[in-house]
Amino acid sequence: MSCKIISGPEVAGQIYDELRVRIDRMKSSGLTPGLAVILVGNDPASQVYVRNKGRKCEELGMHSETIVLPEETTEEELLARIDALNKDPAIHGFLVQLPLPGHIDEDKVIQAIDPAKDVDGFHPVNVGNMLIGKPGFLPATPAGVQQMLIRSGIETAGKHVVVVGRSNIVGKPMAALMVQRGADSTVTVVHSRTKDLASITRQADILIVAIGKPRFITEDMVKEGAVVIDVGTNRIEDPTHPKGSRLVGDVDYDNVSKKVSAITPVPGGVGPMTICMLMSNTVKAAENAQSR
């Protein structure tokens, strides 16, 4: 079977081209979309991610601010920074990079963000709007997966979508998006406590995997001709690699790709879509502010 490789950079490139047109239109009328990111502490992975967000803003001609706070920042100090960004007219969207240090309540922080500026799509107001199919900001990774399916011509109506993983960031919102009108899928969610998980994944027309375990999904767990979207990013040891390690997904790509009709690679699949959809949410937030 010939397997289609769904390229994240390719799909993201299409969306960035569309965003540049919208950004230029706003800038010609005197408004520059602005994104701010608050980073607390010095988690290396978070630092890289935040730096990439800033670079992409610059590349698109957007205003970008990065606020780096020390690990010992108090919850009250962080909430005060959030309040200031809520009131800043130059910032149309912002996020607080997770995870946060253990002494800070993540739920309290997320709920302090103005839903109109919550470009991560984590505020309960935006989560509720997503669930009932009302306009709002969608979480970046699930929205990116949905765009990959749409722009790759993958039919979802009437298809059985199985989501592996039930996190608030990917699994649950992914299931909610795929069951909405327009996507029109039949959705099953499986997770670490599911009995005979493989018997369910084998039923999937579209298998979306976000369980955080390297190469968890093997060839015998997928149906012939299925579409597989691998959201996982895991670093494993590899003595043959110059860095001594490499990235793999939650799917055994080499073997599964021989059996399915379409698949996303890792790296080069879902990963680039996350920042892309964050930029899309920021542009949408600026357009919303302009129309108010």
Is 97 assigned a catalytic role?
A: yes
Q: How far is CA 23 from CA 28, 89, 239, 253, 285, in A?
A: 9, 17, 45, 37, 12
* Catalytic entry in 56, 97, 230, 250: 97
- Nearest-angstrom CA–CA distance, 138 and 142: 8
Is 47 assigned a catalytic role?
A: no
Is 111 assigned a catalytic role?
A: no
Alpha carbons within 13 angstroms on the beta-carbon side of residue 5 total 12
228, 217 contact by CB (below 8 A): yes
* Catalytic entry in 56, 117, 118, 120: 120
- Nearest-angstrom CA–CA distance, 18 and 91: 21
Kindly list the catalytic residues.
Answer: 53, 97, 120
